[in-house]
Amino acid sequence: MLIQYRNHGFSLIFLNLLSLKQALYMLTDFKISFHLKSTFVILLTAFLIRSASYGQSKKYCTVSVINTSALNINEKVIEVRWSQILKAYSGIDTSLLIVIDAGSKKQVPYQLEKKGTSEIQNLLLQVSVHSKNKSEFIIKAGKRLPFNSKTYARYVPERYEDFAWENDKIAFRMYGKALESTTGNATGIDVWTKRTPNLVLNKWYKSGDYHKDNGEGLDFYHVGMTLGAGGIAPYFDGQIINSKNYVKYEVFDNGPLRSSFKLFYSPWMVNGQEVNYTKLVQLDAGSQLNKFEVQFVSRASDSLTIAAGIHTNNGLDVKFINEQKKILAYWEPVNKDNGQIGVGCVFISPVKSFIEDEGHILNIETIKVSIPYTYYAGACWNRAGRYLNSSQWFNYLEEFSKALEVLKVEIK
């Protein structure tokens, strides 16, 4: 970038790399008036100050995560709008991007989330913030250290077109069309328990020995033709009207801090009308719960009654139902060989009442079709060591619900 000052037929040309002292020294070699020199000095000084400030703003930006609540927030993945980061740090280079914890001065893992698009939508960070406190992170250029991924999702064609996903705490799967022709067909959400932070899906599918705990966990949750651990379906005349299994999938993002994908279902008949839907599923590192965004479509009506909830395997042991807190949960009876699983749902929209029906605890709502219906659902395992009993599991769900809206993000 050049500065040019023209007067009386001559030009003074200075690169912005020159210091003010160097520029003044050069001026002594020109026979120009004191007024001209003074004017030039003022202009050059202003430019250099602005240039220095401009350069500084391109070197980094700071993200502050503020906890406005009395809760201690642990291992929560937050979204920082990429457009806001670009406003504060327009010279950002994603190939040379690091995030530093301002407290520890160490690099932290991050993810550039695209949400199925070609452009970055969010910067994802996993944060822990004490109550009424804040954590700060510095985004700047540097060599990124390698970090292990904490989430993973994939299509499993070698096992009847399963779709499976996991994080460092828990794993889940849903079933593809190829399973429909077998005697072991299932429609709901399956749980795979884990006692290791490592990603195990590929290893377990390869071995085929995941119904036995070999030290990492196992699959002993029973789904069958139920909603399983947080499924959803139309509800008519006191009955859950299950769909068929999914027929198509799209993976949007896949680690290291969040995996998200969409499942597509073929139309089926509900009370004389054809219904269709998609499920957008999102699982974050450190979380026991998935985020579900389900979009129903019906050409015959603009509303639909749905049931979302959990299957109560082997009868009720301990349940937690609280419409005001918008939480339903269940702690399964003891499996003498494998321990206990807790399952639960956290709803976003107001809840009128939960019901027990068809071996489920359900939230029945009438929703607008073509508008995504959002809720959270998931599970835990007592032998993983985090939640050893029903009280600890129910408390986790309450704190999860409260923590959804308590973190504020500032960028400068």
Q: How far apart are CA 202 and CA 73, in angstroms?
A: 31
User: Order of strands, edge to edge, in the sheet holding 239-240?
Assistant: 239-240, 229-236, 303-311, 360-368, 354-357
pLDDT, one tens digit per residue, over 92-117 is 999 999 999 999 999 999 999 999 99
pLDDT tens, 17-36? 444 445 444 544 444 454 55
pLDDT of residue 4: 44
Q: Show Cβ contacts of residue 206 under 8 Å, excluding neighbours closer than 6 positions.
A: none
Q: What is the mean pLDDT of residues 81-98?
A: 94
360 closest CA partner among 327, 305, 311, 307: 311
Share of the chain above pLDDT 70, in %: 85
Give the residue-averaged pLDDT of 65-69: 95
Instruction: Among 45-49, 140-144, 329-333, 358-362, name the one with the lowest average pLDDT.
Output: 45-49
Indicate the helix (H) or strand (E) that contains 291: strand 289-298
Cis peptide before 256 (omega within 30 of 0): yes
Residues 334-347 have a mean pLDDT of 95
* pLDDT (average), residues 262-283: 95
Confidence of residue 50 (pLDDT cuts 50, 70, 90): low
| Single-letter amino acid, residue 83 | S
Question: Residue 38 above 70 pLDDT?
Answer: no
d(CA 149, CA 258): 9
Could you tell me the two tokens for 180? 């429909």
Per-residue pLDDT averaged across 210-219, rounded?
A: 96
The whole-number average pLDDT for the span 379-398 is 97
Say if strands 268-270 and 258-264 run parallel, antiparallel, or are unpaired. unpaired
- The pLDDT score that the predictor gives to residue 44 is 54
- Overall average pLDDT of the 156-177 stretch: 97
pLDDT at 299: 83
**The pLDDT of residue 407 is above 90:** yes
pLDDT band at 91 (very low <50, low <70, confident <90, very high): confident
Q: What is the mean pLDDT of the chain?
A: 88
Contact 112, 139 (CB under 8 A): no
Residue 45 has pLDDT above 60, yes or no: no
Q: Rg (Cα) of the chain, in Å, rounded? A: 28
SS3 10: strand
Give the Å distances, CA to CA, from 222 to 50, 104, 177, 188, 218: 66, 44, 19, 10, 12
363 vs 22, higher pLDDT: 363
Q: What is the mean pLDDT of residues 359-380?
A: 95
Specify whether the backbone of 409 is left (phi greater than 0), alpha (psi in -120 to 50) or beta: beta
